[in-house]
Amino acid sequence: MEPTIVSGKEVSNKIKEEIAIAVEKLKSKGVKTPHLAAVLVGEDGASRTYVNAKVKACEKVGFNSTLVKLESDISEADLLAEIEKLNNNSDIDGFIVQLPLPNHIDEQKVTEAIAPEKDVDGFHPVSLGKMLLHLPSFLPATPYGITEMLRHYNIPTEGKHCVVIGRSHIVGSPMSVLMARNSYPGNCTVTLTHSRTQNLAEITKAADILIVAIGKPEFVTADMVKEGATVIDVGIHRIEDASRKSGFKLLGDVKFDEVASKCAFISPVPGGVGPMTIASLLKNTLLAVELKN
């Protein structure tokens, strides 16, 4: 079977075009230009790449952006003070603190310090609680992006069995909630699997929709996937590859080359979930402005 490639790159470009039009409308009505800030602590290479991509995306859609770069040895108290400044800065509509943070800083404490009305990552307990209650809120960017991909490709979800691999607070757990909600995409029967799951392959083989966020390169192989399934790959891993100019290649959590031919739909890495995460962050920032006005 020839699968349909779920191109997050294409869908995210379409969403960014829509956001750019909405920004123009806001400006013509005299409403402020949306302004997203990103806090980056330390010099982690991957985090720097992601934050730079977020700032670049802001420019593309006509948002203002601010990058707050802090030293890796900043104290927790000083970081919390920076967050308070952003909470109180009325020109900043939303902001994110890029994770992971250095070990001496409590991520939960930092997440809870962000004003819920500026929590465009959707990681604050208030945002997550509203999501659970199906109230309007900022949805976590990666799960939100995945629902928008499913919507764009009209992938049927009602009554389907969705299996999620990985129960992280930022991807797997919220993903399982969104897929079970009474809406489209949603209305799935959801199985959330994790490191203690027994007979994982038996469960994944029963999945109509398989969402993989386990953080292990090429973990999902063809024998774990049902014929005709939809497979969404959240993983992204830099693997050294001397044959490439960059010195590395990018792999997902799914062994794409052997899994793809079994699928009705499959998302690639790169060009799949990654760009959707950024588009969702922009959508949340636009929503923050709209909610304020």
Residue in 277, 283, 286, 289 binding ligand GUN, rule: CB under 6 A: 277
Structure tokens at 46: 């991957």
Which three-class secondary structure state does DSSP give residue 240?
Answer: strand
Q: How far is the CB of 165 from ligand GUN (least distance, A)?
A: 17
Q: How many residues bind ligand GUN (CB under 6 A)?
A: 9
For ligand GUN, give the closer residue by CB, 204 or 280.
280
Angle at Cα 264 formed by Cα 13 and Cα 226, nearest 5°? 130
Work out whether 99 is an interface residue with ligand GUN (CB under 6 A): yes
148 within 8 A of 12, measured Cβ to Cβ: no
| All residues at 6 or more sequence positions from 230 whose CB lies less than 8 Å from its CB, including other chains | 6, 150, 155, 208, 209, 210, 263, 264, 265, 266
Residue with smaller CB distance to ligand GUN, 26 or 58: 58
Residues 58 to 97: which contact ligand GUN by CB under 6 A? Answer: 96-97
Which ranges of 181-225 does DSSP label H, i.e. alpha helix?
200-204
From candidates 7, 98, 157, 173, binder to ligand GUN by CB under 6 A: 98
> Would you give the binding string for ligand GUN spanning residues 211-250, x where CB under 6 A is met?
----------------------------------------
**Alpha-carbon span 110 to 115, nearest angstrom:** 11
User: Does the annotation mark 54 as catalytic?
Assistant: yes
C-alpha 67/C-alpha 49 separation (Å) is 13
Query: Which residues ranging from 161 to 200 are in contact with ligand GUN (CB under 6 A)?
Result: 170
Paired tokens of 168: 């992280």
| Least Cβ distance, residue 99 to ligand GUN (angstroms) | 4
Q: Return the structure tokens found at 241.
A: 């590859």
Least separation in angstroms between residue 38's CB and ligand GUN is 8
Q: Which of 186, 178, 163 is nearest to 132 (CA)?
A: 178
Report 116-155 residues binding ligand GUN (CB under 6 A).
121, 141-142
Query: One of 16, 54, 118, 262 is an active-site residue; which one?
Result: 54
Active site residues: 54, 98, 121
Q: Which residues bind ligand GUN (CB under 6 A)?
A: 96-99, 121, 141-142, 170, 277
